[in-house]
Amino acid sequence: MEDLWSAVLRMGAVWLALVFVLIVLPSALGISLGISEAYMWALVKTLEWATIRIEKGNQRPPPQKPKSPAPNGIIERDKTPMEQEIARLRQTDFEFSDIFYFCRKGFEAIVEDEVTQRFSSEELVSWNLLTRTNVNFHYISLRLSVLWGLGVLVRYCLLLPLRFTLASIGVTSMIVGTTLVGQLPNSRLKNYLSEVVHLTCSRILVRALSGTIHYHNKENRPQKGGICVANHTSPIDAIILTNDGCYAMVGQVHGGLMGVIQRATVKACPHVWFERSEMKDRHLVTKRLREHVADKSKLPILIFPEGTCINNTSVMMFKKGSFEIGGTIYPVAIKYDPQFGDAFWNSSKYNIVSYLLRIMTSWAIVCNVWYMPPMVREEGEDAVQFANRVRSAIARQGGLTELPWDGGLKRAKVKDTFKEEQQKNYSKMLVKRGSVG
């Protein structure tokens, strides 16, 4: 019995030592040993093989073509504007024909609407050997199933414990490190150490997710005294960005583990955490952020203006509050590759714990981050127009579509002001004809 115990303890010690040497130390020093790259290479090869097998299997009857996703919809939408289409339909003076147009639009909306689509995960081109994405794929061959079984084993028995260990190490060192640094008096040394701690812990956490991140245009990285703005897909977005630079986070104070982290980090670095009651007062929020931005020695603040997680195929309305603060905006576009793991957090379907579990049992998180040249509000541009301009730039860079909708529609209904627009348009047309005819 004792031998067994000592054997287990020794294995545990070896395990921790390996983790420390191979992962934690390189993170601290900012170098890479190439283990992630090797893993990704093996993964890509395996998935390619799986894809070929699936396509071969699908070649049986012609209608069974390999399924392609339609990130922008499954039905063909006629984009002609209302006036043109109604004019075409109207052969006579009847309003009967107008019903066609609205009927069809109504049906299109019922079959598929642009908004709800964005709050569910993107569909994949070919199966990536995860059951959770197996919506369209059926049993193909024994070899594929064996591979899938192996995949489950690898993911749950090898990767999950590893990632969990790393995540715990990362979070613990963040709390301990920032508390220690927070004891120092304010000085350049403190700032430097705070940056080191934050960067190291971010790197460990990214490795905990098997994250492979490609940063583009690093020369446009956000500078001090600026505001960094990005599209929001998941809570991991913050870690992805802090992996490559230091930011002052903005957010609400939470309870539990998150609250502990927040309280610890704010001692080392001037993050901006708001109480729930303060969040309701927009002026207070804007004032505090403005003070932060005005101080040019402070780190750039990180804001996600969509306000909620979207599924990374589109960018929804940016709330104008972030754009009223002033200062320089550094837009950043983040695009995840869904082939290796779905990063989108569907908060109405999964809570944070099951979300983290899903992330840690995916193959990897692969994403591209584009830093874009800074933008400032121009003369005569109001906050909303500026927000839309920044949003278009981000959407174009990341290859995402733009939607004028509010992310809040995940939970609420359409505002009446939106409805009236379309109805006014139509009735204007009708009255004109009615008075002539």
Return residues touching another protein (CB under 8 A): 63, 65-71, 73-76, 89, 91-96, 98-100, 102-116, 120, 125, 134-136, 399, 405, 409, 413-414, 418-424, 426-428, 430-431, 434, 437
Nearer to another protein, 124 or 213 (CB): 124
Q: Answer whether 253's CB lies under 8 Å from 276's CB.
A: yes
Buried-exposed string 135-165: b where 16+ CB fall within 10 A, e elsewhere = eebeebeeebeebbeebeeebeeebeebbee
CA 366, CA 360: separation in Å to the nearest integer?
Answer: 13
CB of 400 to another protein, least distance (A): 9
Helices 142-153 & 35-57 angle (0-180, nearest 10): 150
- The distance from CA 54 to its chain's CA centroid, rounded to whole angstroms, is 29
CB of 125 to another protein, least distance (A): 7
How many CA within 13 A on the CB side of residue 344?
Answer: 21
CA 241, CA 331: separation in Å to the nearest integer?
Answer: 12
CA 82, CA 75: separation in Å to the nearest integer?
Answer: 18
CB of 401 to another protein, least distance (A): 10
CB of 423 to another protein, least distance (A): 2
Nearer to another protein, 85 or 237 (CB): 85
Nearer to another protein, 114 or 324 (CB): 114
Neighbours of 232 (CB within 10 A): 22
Nearer to another protein, 89 or 196 (CB): 89
Distances (CA, A) of 346 to 136, 242, 356: 20, 23, 12
Nearer to another protein, 185 or 437 (CB): 437
CB of 343 to another protein, least distance (A): 17
CB of 261 to another protein, least distance (A): 35
Nearer to another protein, 282 or 428 (CB): 428
Cα-based angle 223, 224, 225 (whole degrees, multiple of 5): 115
Nearer to another protein, 4 or 110 (CB): 110
CB of 392 to another protein, least distance (A): 17
